[in-house]
A and B are shown apart, each in its own frame.
Chain A
């Protein structure tokens, strides 16, 4: 790849020059982040192939069995209807992870774009755009969701969209603040004087420099979205039994915490471990995307 001539002068630019490729190299060196990534991929794969590996059906009841503690037949025990917990956690993960990632992705895309435009444009455009955000903020979240459900009917995809449509507000504010600070820096002026278009300036110069807080907030959004889904399900607006999600399992588990602790412990463990992995990965990503942190 790198070729040096006899004079020691480099004649070709070594490969792998983009920020993202560079970040990937740095991420690979971060053990904790790599552990998080591998764990996440493992969980996601497990959830994807659930229908083929799950020992029982998720709605398969065995009322005579009732709630039993972990055993050879049911590794993680059964719930009060005699349903296998391992199966229900695996199926629940499908929903929870799907909600978490899709809703967060929606929030990320809308929030970053919206915030970046408002922050860079400034002036009246910014005022109007941010007042709109304020109005949405002020709207009671539950009414918003209920309205959506009433108008469009109960639908899991709609649920993702609704959650995403609420979570992007904070993201937009964070990004706008970052961009406002950054846009007066000289390197942005330098980009203007080179003749770059506003789009290129926002995309190539501003957003990469605002990513640190965005990534941290994203890793915080995923769990909060998962819990939000549990809350909605608990209210009867989200996932309904016999379908399951981690949030739903946990809120059910809390009710019978004293008699059947495994109903709370195992779904709780699944959620906690996933969140740990996400946090490690998020921290790693943030560091990897900042060339300055690679010094030591």
Chain B
């Protein structure tokens, strides 16, 4: 059988002011009807550029297609004129973009956006198009589709919006769908639903899917064929089983190993708990007057010294607010937080400053958590001087010592945050957190903004620091795989409440609550975790 799409030796270069960037350098792949081809690579590996260039969606100049061919429907896409390409874009190949929040026009009703391509490409009348759009909306699992056609995009949740975007891609009955990280911006349970939806639709309509992702565990469940890319170059290609069980290339192995599947051995706990949280409630007044958002409701737990506790939940479950309440970044409404026997919710002034030295926080987004106008030196020196960890004389030495322990090159001491990659920035942020020699660290999704291989390095760094400095850590994450890698115990939060807690082993292998079970069901790449368990 002939393939739907055959891309051969595609090369796309960008001619920028700073020289030639070979974004895509000789990539070949095929997409078959009813199957999924996944392109895997870290950010900057050229995977999106490769797919977008097929539809002429890269800026030219500076981009230029240097060589290659892409046979679709007997025509070479790379040689088509803009006019001919426009026909292919809607009818032949559609795209699902990463972020459902920005890929819909906020000022047009969903129905209006859905029927647009039908009127454009098929010359359908408004009534006919409307009926067709309603049926597609139903097909992607949106209830009351005829009513929802009249809704605005903001009236849908993230997952529902992505369904609308999928409906939009499907409506012209394309032969191929390019899905560019379609679930990266979504919660893990929603992600599972969307992946399943894509798989079902694909089988039903015999569409070929080109799935772009940085996350191996996501494609583990859905891909038939996998292409691995690195720095624009082709690394390896094979069936799903080939790649996961018999990877040939070192880079593929590295990617596979970076997926956190191992489990931390339990550590001993001492008698006196370091942190006791009792009936903690935190609430905000919302924009609607009189309405109160209860972000954290009656949460109680303890953390022993030298323990790493994972706090898991979907976005909006209140896990970040809980972390911030403990840190006194937001003021709790009621309840108590005892840190080493001292009440945190009450103290002020000098006492509070002293307690801040003893507990530190690592934030999610290393691009936002560093002051863009402060060099590494300034960032690290500030807390050291503030808490008199070192005097002026010993300052330089102390800064270097910190940089060494988080693995930053000393030469970069005067650089500014924007000159670093995401992983290096997170190292700076970690350096700042341990600069005050704290006993307790709240890590709020510290690796979720990072590529998977970098993620593994940062997690290992955190584990090293925990044992080196006898740290106690509350590790907040939506990713159970990550938590499993470093937590002794797990707390599960849903809608502001603590629904389950227990040792990592107990929670993951024998969850008691329905919510925890759904959360576990939703982890992408479950097959991967199971494989590694069988191996070990």
Interface residues of A (CB under 8 A from B): 9-14, 17-19, 22, 185-187, 189-196, 200, 204-205, 208-209, 289-292, 295-296
Chain B residues near A18 (CB-CB < 8 A): 378
Q: How far is the CB of B53 from chain A (nearest CB, A)?
A: 25
- Find out whether the CB atom of A292 lies under 8 angstroms from the CB atom of B418: yes
- Find out whether the CB atom of A194 lies under 8 angstroms from the CB atom of B436: yes
Within the complex, which residue of A13, A186, A194 is in contact with B365, where a contact is CB–CB below 8 Å?
A: A186
- Take A17-B375, A195-B356 as given contacts and tell me if A291 and B416 are in contact as well, using a CB distance cutoff of 8 Å: yes
Binary contact track B19-31/A, C-beta < 8 Å → 1, others 0? 0000000000000
8 Å CB contacts to A: which residues of B361-384? Answer: 361, 363-365, 368-375, 377-378, 382-383
Within the complex, which residue of A10, A200, A205 is in contact with B410, where a contact is CB–CB below 8 Å?
A: A10
- Find out whether the CB atom of B370 lies under 8 angstroms from the CB atom of A187: yes
Within the complex, which residue of B354, B373, B399 is in contact with A290, where a contact is CB–CB below 8 Å?
A: B373
Q: Complex formed: what's the CA distance from A195 to B416 in Å?
A: 22
Q: Which residue of A lies closest to B349 (CB)?
A: A197
- Find out whether the CB atom of B356 lies under 8 angstroms from the CB atom of A209: no
- Find out whether the CB atom of B371 lies under 8 angstroms from the CB atom of A194: no
- Take A12-B396, A193-B356 as given contacts and tell me if A17 and B368 are in contact as well, using a CB distance cutoff of 8 Å: no
8 Å CB contacts to A: which residues of B318-358? Answer: 324, 327, 329, 352-354, 356-357
Chain B residues near A10 (CB-CB < 8 A): 400, 410-411, 413
- Find out whether the CB atom of A185 lies under 8 angstroms from the CB atom of B368: yes
Chain B residues near A22 (CB-CB < 8 A): 375
Chain A residues near B370 (CB-CB < 8 A): 187, 190
Chain A residues near B17 (CB-CB < 8 A): 296
- Take A189-B363, A190-B361, A194-B386 as given contacts and tell me if A205 and B416 are in contact as well, using a CB distance cutoff of 8 Å: no
- Find out whether the CB atom of B364 lies under 8 angstroms from the CB atom of A193: no
- B489: interface (CB < 8 Å): no
Task: Pick the most buried of A192, A194, A204, A205: most chain B CB atoms within 10 A of its CB.
Answer: A194
Chain A residues near B329 (CB-CB < 8 A): 189, 192-193
Q: How far is the CB of A194 from chain B (nearest CB, A)?
A: 4
- Take A12-B396, A189-B363, A195-B357 as given contacts and tell me if A292 and B387 are in contact as well, using a CB distance cutoff of 8 Å: no
Q: Complex formed: what's the CA distance from A206 to B24 in Å?
A: 41
Q: Complex formed: what's the CA distance from A291 to B383 in Å?
A: 22
- B414: interface (CB < 8 Å): yes
List of 4 A-B pairs having minimum Cβ-Cβ separation, nearest first: A195-B356, A186-B369, A291-B416, A10-B410
Of the A-B pairs whose beta carbons lie under 8 Å apart in the complex, a sample of 20, sorted by A's number, is A9-B410, A10-B400, A10-B413, A13-B377, A185-B368, A187-B371, A190-B361, A190-B363, A193-B359, A194-B356, A194-B386, A195-B353, A195-B356, A290-B372, A291-B373, A291-B375, A292-B372, A292-B416, A292-B418, A296-B18
- B360: interface (CB < 8 Å): yes
Q: Complex formed: what's the CA distance from A133 to B364 in Å?
A: 37
Q: How far is the CB of B493 from chain A (nearest CB, A)?
A: 20
Q: Complex formed: what's the CA distance from A294 to B371 in Å?
A: 16
Q: Complex formed: what's the CA distance from A19 to B383 in Å?
A: 17
Chain B residues near A187 (CB-CB < 8 A): 368-372
Q: How far is the CB of A123 from chain B (nearest CB, A)?
A: 11
- B161: interface (CB < 8 Å): no
Q: How far is the CB of A107 from chain B (nearest CB, A)?
A: 23
- Find out whether the CB atom of B369 lies under 8 angstroms from the CB atom of A190: yes
Q: How far is the CB of A44 from chain B (nearest CB, A)?
A: 29
Chain B residues near A289 (CB-CB < 8 A): 373
- Take A193-B361, A194-B356 as given contacts and tell me if A13 and B396 are in contact as well, using a CB distance cutoff of 8 Å: yes
Q: How far is the CB of A26 from chain B (nearest CB, A)?
A: 11
Known: A18-B378, A205-B374. 4 other contacts (CB 8 A): A13-B400, A191-B382, A193-B327, A195-B354
- Find out whether the CB atom of B383 lies under 8 angstroms from the CB atom of A208: no
Q: Complex formed: what's the CA distance from A189 to B329 in Å?
A: 7
